[in-house]
């Protein structure tokens, strides 16, 4: 469960619905045919590190070693998949205010993601669809209050929220199977003002050279 402060307003209702319909959403993902994924290089240049980049997991840098990929669900108002494949998920997302990107994130076995912060700002929600069959899949993150490094271990059906620009974080999966999470990047409803949200959205879009550019990359990939 995520912090109670997020279970408020229209966003809070959406988080409750995601909890309630977790198994249905997971089945929608499993059942979708012909999945076409984006890869780290589609989001950022130079994210592939060499072996020495992983001798210290606290070393700053957006390094990916192993298998990491994303299935786009929505970017802004654009739907990345068919509503016929995701009727439950899209019915919830229609009610979710102040979101930017939604995707399924897949981290393969024996994969590490180096310590980094993300420039997009806002908040990030992740609901674990499948932890990969063990207890060796997680992320280290900096606690905002204590400034200490904490560990979040992914468990199937559990959700986690953090602020990716303020909390340095990394990830790993040493479980035998793939770890899959549903990711929603958003601006917290209780913090909303029109000016704050517009600044967040503009900055978020600029980080991807325009959200429309990310959409174009994904759509072109699906045509191949």
CA dist 144 to 137, 162, 165, 215, Å?
22, 9, 11, 32
104: tokens are 């399924």
Is pLDDT above 50 for 55?
Answer: no
Q: At what angle do helices 22-31 and 9-20 cross, to 10 degrees?
A: 70
Q: Which range among 57-61, 108-112, 171-175 shows the weakest confidence by mean pLDDT?
A: 57-61
pLDDT in tens, 73-100: 999 999 999 999 999 999 999 999 999 9
- Compute the residue count for the chain: 224
pLDDT band at 62 (very low <50, low <70, confident <90, very high): low
pLDDT in tens, 167-195: 999 999 999 999 999 999 999 999 999 99
At residue 82, the 3 state secondary structure works out as coil
132-153: burial string, b at 16+ Cβ within 10 Å, e else: beeebbbbbbbeeeeeebeebe
Domains of the chain (ranges, CATH numbers)? 4-223 (2.60.120.330)
Number of alpha carbons in the 13 Å side-chain half-sphere of residue 176: 2
pLDDT in tens, 12-43: 999 999 999 999 999 999 999 999 999 877 77
């Amino acid at each position: 469960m995520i912090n109670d402060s997020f279970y408020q307003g229209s966003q809070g209702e959406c988080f409750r619905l995601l909890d309630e319909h977790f198994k249905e959403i997971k089945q929608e993902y499993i059942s979708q045919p012909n999945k076409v994924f984006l890869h780290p290089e589609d989001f950022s240049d130079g994210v592939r590190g060499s072996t020495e980049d992983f001798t210290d997991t606290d070393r700053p840098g957006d390094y990916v070693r192993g298998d990491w990929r994303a299935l786009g669900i929505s970017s802004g108002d654009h739907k990345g998949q068919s509503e016929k494949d995701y009727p439950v998920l899209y019915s919830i997302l229609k009610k979710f205010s102040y979101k930017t990107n939604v995707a399924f994130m897949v981290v393969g076995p024996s994969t590490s993601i180096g310590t980094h912060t993300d420039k997009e700002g806002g908040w990030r929600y992740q609901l674990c669809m499948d932890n990969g069959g063990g207890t060796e899949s997680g992320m280290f993150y900096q606690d905002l209050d204590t400034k200490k490094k904490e560990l979040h271990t992914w468990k199937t059906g559990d959700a986690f929220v953090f602020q990716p620009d303020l909390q340095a974080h990394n990830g790993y999966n040493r479980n035998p199977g793939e770890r899959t999470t549903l990711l929603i990047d958003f601006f917290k409803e209780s913090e909303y003002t029109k000016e704050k949200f517009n600044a967040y959205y503009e900055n978020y879009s600029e980080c991807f050279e325009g959200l429309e550019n990310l959409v174009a990359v994904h759509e072109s990939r699906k045509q191949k």
